[in-house]
Amino acid sequence: MRPEKEPRRKAKTREVSIRGIPVSHGVAIGAVYDTSEEPTLAPRRQVDAGHVEDERARLNAAAAASRKQVGKLKARLGVLPEEAQEELAPLLDAYAMMLGDSRLLRGARRRIGEELLAAETAVQDEAEAIAAVILAAKDDDKPGLKRRAGEVREIARRLTRNLTATPFRSLKGVPQGAILVAEELTPADAALLDPARIAGVATEEGGADGHTAIMLRALGIPSVLGCPGLTEAAARGDEAVLDGSAGTIVLRPGPAAMEAGREALAAYAKEKTRLGKLRRLPSVTLDAEEVELQANLEIPAELPLIAQAGAQGIGLLRTEFLFMNREDLPDEDAQFHAYAQIVGPLAGDQVTIRVLDWGGEKDIEALAEGIEPYHAGPNPALGLRGIRMLLKRPELLEAQFAAILRIAAQGPVRILLPMVTVPSEVAQAREIYERVARRLRRKGVPLPEKLPPLGAMIETPGAALAADAIALEADFFAIGTNDLAMYTLAVDRAEAEVAHLYDPLHPAVLRLVQFATEAALRLRMPVSVCGEMAGNPRLVPLLLGLGIRTLSMNASAIPRVKQVVRTLQIDDCARFARRVMEQSDPKRIQELVMAFGEPAAARD
């Protein structure tokens, strides 16, 4: 592809239709904006023995520059939709690990010394050697293996561009409403896309299972990848019709193709409008059972999306944003002002604030520097994280409790404790909570007469099986089905080798959800689901049948979930849930869920 397309030598006028891989639903009509990345010129070369340390120093400098770039990408996560954050965060964490004391860098340094290779040659050779080992692994998950090999090659590419001072692709000049065309986009490129600005994306390379495809779906940008001959056929400024559902892009469309594109765009817009109208309608079943649909919130900037979706408050406010991308820990006042930005605009709707959930895979620089990194260890996901860490460092918990108690005077809030596994953790947290409340009252700080409820997240098998005991200490439950499935099945979705084993419909996961729900309902205690299951319209009948009446999800999922709720009757859901819970085969459960959801899905 020509670098950023010089003026065209000859205008192309013939209509060209290219079929690729449908990646992200939606229709876009707009002008092509082609973008290419300057090729890296890094011919193989060797160095004299006297320059080995110089090459290793160059490699260290390139790694430091790459880590800084990845850090900037992580800082941008906050402006992306939640799905995009969930996809990109673990990937960037993997990038950061590979830019540390990794096999890639250790191997490259060894090659510099033993084979007298230039730094960029050593990086490329080591990356290809690692990728070859990954791809040769005996694993049925071939797309996962390709993603892992691609991650290694992407880091090698970044190191090489920094070693050779080759600039990266710039997306700053993309005009409003353009369809971005490129040979290939990396996940890092996708993270820089603005969904409000770019109408669609088409690339010559790529597939449906890669990180870039997942990112584009999370961003909600209509996209088609793997379009053969695209960059040769397209020219900047060409009119184009892109259909992300059909997997086609038509360049320089004639009257018929343009009319078909307009009809598809109108149908897509009509569907979005129809779902938008649901905002004003109540979330009730056909037999008048109310189902509360709340939103998960990552950062205050997402508040407008929550309002547009018609959420009934916030069912999960993650507070990690307060601690990230800063050099010091936020004090009580800083946290209070941050909560005020959220509680105030919600005008009386409830906000459930989860206290800091740090540890495991999460990396917060201010905490790493401010306290001993307790999360370090051979198995951090099973180490000191969530409420365990907070009880070890109660000053962190006290500051959050104080800020939340102060904001409770301005609107209804609840407090949620993460990673609870035993009743004593809730009891210990409540002692700190009540002590903080007494201190604030002595100081004359306005607090609500009745303290906000203190709840527990149920996200481990231990917590679910001990739910009846935990319910005696907690005021409400929030079932986090993402971690619950992960810990129950011993599967990390970010690990390509086992990601295919992750299944929230596994009977063990469903029985734990049922056990925790029934424990709460016996005590007439509020219980909600706030994992991905809550935002899946197909699973709504099952969750309602198990007794759940509050669902918290990404704001964009609320309209479709509400649409399904309004087609259901609770008795039907209960009978369906009983039938599902009798099954022991995950595939049979999947079949039942898909069959039950067909009528509602057909009306989507």
- Tell me the binding residues for Mg(2+): 459, 483
Extract the tokens encoding 414: 């609840």
Considering all CA atoms of the chain, what is the largest pairwise distance in Å, rounded to the nearest integer? 82
Q: In what order do the strands lie in the sheet with 16-19?
A: 16-19, 248-251, 239-243, 27-34, 178-182, 198-203, 223-225, 21-24
Residues in the chain: 604
Q: Give the annotated binding-site residues.
A: 318, 354, 459, 482-483, 493
Q: How far apart are the first and last CA of the chain?
A: 40
505/489 Cα distance (integer angstroms): 11
Do the Cβ atoms of 247 and 22 come closer than 8 Å? yes
Among residues 31, 90, 388, the alpha carbon closest in space to that of 234 is found at 31
| Residue 165, token pair as written in the block | 């001072």
Distance CA 143, CA 129 (A): 19
Number of neighbours of residue 464 by Cβ within 10 angstroms:
26
Helix (H) or strand (E) holding 587: helix 586-602
Written as six digits, the tokens of 464 are 């679910």
User: How far is Cα 479 from Cα 528, in angstroms, rounded to an integer?
Assistant: 6
552 beta partners:
294
Report CA Rg, the chain.
Answer: 26
- From CA 261, how far away is CA 248, in angstroms rounded? 11
Q: Helices 255-277 and 558-565, interaxial angle, to 10°? A: 70
Q: How far is CA 348 from CA 265, 305, 342, 344, 369, in A?
A: 38, 17, 11, 8, 37
| Binding site residue list for phosphoenolpyruvate | 318, 354, 482-483, 493
Q: What are phi and psi of 252, to 5 degrees?
A: 50, 55
How would DSSP label each residue in 454-504? Answer: EEEEE-SHHHHHTHHHHTTT-S-EEE-HHHHHHHHHT--TT-TTTGGG--T
Give the DSSP H/E element, type plus range, for residue 407.
helix 394-407
Q: Which helix (H) or strand (E) holds 377?
A: none
Q: SS3 of 28, please?
A: strand
Query: Of 227, 375, 530, 573, which residue is the catalytic one?
Result: 530
Contact status, residue 312 vs residue 349, Cβ threshold 8 Å = yes
Q: Is 211 a catalytic residue?
A: yes
> What proportions of the chain, in percent to the nearest 5, are helix, strand and coil?
50, 15, 35
- Whether the CA torsion 121, 100, 365, 193 is positive or negative: it is positive
Q: Which candidate in 51, 211, 337, 573 is catalytic?
A: 211
285 φ/ψ angles, rounded to the nearest 5 degrees: -80, 175
Contact criterion met (CB below 8 Å) for 359 and 386 = yes
**Residues with catalytic function:** 211, 530
